Amino acid sequence: MTVHDLDRSHRGGGPRCSTGSALRGESLAATASLGRRWLLVEVAGGWGWSAFFDSPAIDTRLARRIVERVEGQRMRIAAIRRPGRARGAGRWRWAIVDTGPGVESIHRGECATAEELLELPLDGASGKRDDRPIVAVCANGRHDECCAVRGRRVASELAEWYPDETWECSHIGGDRFAATMLMFPHGLNYGRVDHEDAPAIVARYLAGRIAPDGFRGRTSFSRIEQAAQHAARTQLGDDRLEAYRPLTTRAQADGWRVELAAGAATVLVDVAESTGSPLFTTCEAGTAVPIRQYAATRLEVRR
């Protein structure tokens, strides 16, 4: 493959979007999908381009009402299913997740029918609190073929190590970073997981640590805050989940200044925004688009 191939879409003979992203050396830092509160709904069986609107398991009009209700509460919604062919058809298990720092939680339950999801309290008042981790790997191949080629293999591997925790999930953003993975309740977002030791990443998470390779950021934090945290972890080395909690973010002439908690000290990180070269963000994309990027320009520790 030549450099010129990267200028062509996958449909036009170029590489898959995830291959092109890796060949360009596109950074994963500060690219996590945003969302503090999530509703994960088991939609067993096949998925179309949209796991909710193009699935034989659920009526499209009902699915649209459910999605609109959830998004109206400023929540993210994702479909989940067990890896492999035995996907638990007919069950409507769900999980409400809050990824907010200090209040991370998972409430789980099950509805008898999909219609009951329209009455499900979205504030965590229903179901049972159960903070056993959920590891969700995007495997929505009809949305993007990279998720099928890369994601399903990772989900299958993880299910052998962590059968209760592992699920396939619908599109969560960042197709070009496939295989992508979310770990709840903290909302840790990873990319290119098929190039890393996926079970080791999960093991680090269960031990209260963040594995650096493939880490995109945490979904409850803005991309500006994600960039600041990335700089702090890279330069200062603390990989604990609770390390470098954002305290304040202030705009300044050339970007932002983020203040992070670091025990008795604080870390001040200046973050700037730039625009990268146009690229094809999905395998189906016909037009290359510029991508906003966030990176630290300065870091200072104050004690």
Whether the CB-CB separation of 182 and 189 falls below 8 Å is answered with yes
pLDDT at 10 over 90: no
> Are 196 and 232 within one domain?
no
**Amino acid at site 181:** M
Last residue of a domain, one of 178, 197, 220: 220
> Are 211 and 234 within one domain?
no
Can you give the residue range of the structural domain that contains 257? Answer: 222-303
> Which of 101, 99, 92, 102 is closest to 124 using CA atoms?
99
> Are 140 and 281 within one domain?
no
- Residues 85 and 88: their CA atoms lie apart, in Å, by 9
> Are 290 and 300 within one domain?
yes
Is pLDDT larger for residue 232 or for residue 84? 232
290 found inside a domain: yes
pLDDT at 88 over 80: no
pLDDT digits (tens, 9 = 90+) for 186-241: 999 999 999 999 999 999 999 999 999 999 999 999 999 999 999 999 999 999 99
pLDDT digits (tens, 9 = 90+) for 17-63: 888 889 989 999 999 999 999 999 999 888 888 889 988 889 999 99
DSSP E strand stretches across the chain: 37-42, 76-81, 92-98, 105-111, 128-129, 134-138, 166-169, 181-184, 188-190, 215-218, 246-252, 255-262, 265-275, 292-302
> Is the pTM higher than 0.85?
yes
CATH number at residue 147: 3.40.30.10
CA 70 to chain centre: 18
Instruction: Say how many domains are in the chain.
Output: 2
